[in-house]
Amino acid sequence: MTHAVSAAQTPAQPAPDSSKALYGGKGTRRITVRDIAAAKERGEKWPMLTAYDAMTASVFDEAGIPVLLVGDSMGNCHLGYDSTVPVTLDEMTMLSAAVVRGTKRAMVIGDLPFGSYQEGPTQALRSATRLVKEAGVGAVKLEGGERSAQQIELLVQAGIPVMAHIGLTPQSVNAFGGYPVQGRGEEAAQQLLRDAKAVQGAGAFAVVLELVPAELATEVTRILHIPTVGIGAGVECDAQVLVWTDFAGMTGGRVPRFVKQYAALRETLGGAAKAFAEDVVGGAYPAPEHSFH
């Protein structure tokens, strides 16, 4: 006698509930940290993009991107600075509020700019409170592992969800002397693992891993129960984030090797500007249908 069960007799496995998916799900209310934790439990990957204004944010929200980061990359990509270091809390608050106004479903995360949390937990709480109250963000992000754990702990105790950011932390560009890959070599890898555990222990709901070897990011993703959000950190992270001007081909000049460009907006927009200029110079615009009598 055999106890083998044929395929026809195998009890049907419940299909995963795709209606709850962060990307492609049916939900219309704002995404919360609980939805993000549930996605990690389901083993679901999700996309995140930066946004710095209401209109671009509305495009990404309508496309179903579940999490939008008002990153301090706005320094380079929106405000014309040459790094993230000069970005102020006033600038972050104003642009975060615009992104919140432009979205209905995405969780909007505001970045704490350089100098707005390094003094300690009290300063971090004051800055984060501004972003939550004045801009309406659902969470904040800050850089640093062990060195920022106390700040994370106080914000979480105060009811402010925190996304941590370890590996290459661009606000430390002057200390790093550029933007080198982090976590290479045994000692650096061990520090990254300690940082990852420290931010999880302090209560962060997710952690960005920037410019970290893929194997190390895989290890961090395996040992943490909070999701990892990779940028230049390989395919095994729970989520992936890109700066919108990079992924859309809007950034001028060279983009980092980890960026995949999904559009060529700079070329398209430049072409449109030239076509408009030629029409104006040649008298083809405005045409009769654009004129009033």
Span of 33-41, 70-78, 198-206, 212-220 interacting with ligand KIV by CB under 6 A:
70-78
Cβ distance 220 to 209 under 8 Å?
yes
Give the β-pairing of 228-231 and 107-111: unpaired
Residues 10-29 that bind ligand KIV (CB under 6 A): none
Does residue 234 touch ligand KIV according to CB under 6 A? no
Pattern 116-155, binding to ligand KIV, x per CB under 6 A? ----------------------------------------
Among 135, 193, 208, 239, binds ligand KIV (CB under 6 A): 208
Among 51, 68, 73, 251, binds ligand KIV (CB under 6 A): 73
Q: What is the dihedral of CA 273, 277, 280, 283, to 10 degrees?
A: -120
Span of 31-39, 68-76, 124-132, 184-192 interacting with ligand KIV by CB under 6 A:
68-76
Q: Which two tokens stand for residue 262?
A: 């999904």
Q: Supply the DSSP symbol for 211.
A: S
Does residue 72 touch ligand KIV according to CB under 6 A? yes
Rounded Cα–Cα distance for residues 206 and 37 (Å): 9
Alpha helices in the chain (DSSP H): 33-42, 54-62, 74-77, 89-101, 121-130, 149-157, 173-176, 186-202, 214-223, 244-247, 265-282
Does residue 111 touch ligand KIV according to CB under 6 A? yes
| Residues found in the chain | 293
Does residue 103 touch ligand KIV according to CB under 6 A? no
**What does residue 185 show for φ and ψ, rounded to 5 degrees?**
90, 155
Cβ at position 208, least distance to ligand KIV in Å: 5
146 is catalytic: no
Cβ at position 72, least distance to ligand KIV in Å: 5
Rounded Cα–Cα distance for residues 108 and 159 (Å): 16
Residue numbers of the site for ligand KIV (CB under 6 A)?
A: 50, 69, 71-73, 111, 165, 208, 231, 241, 243
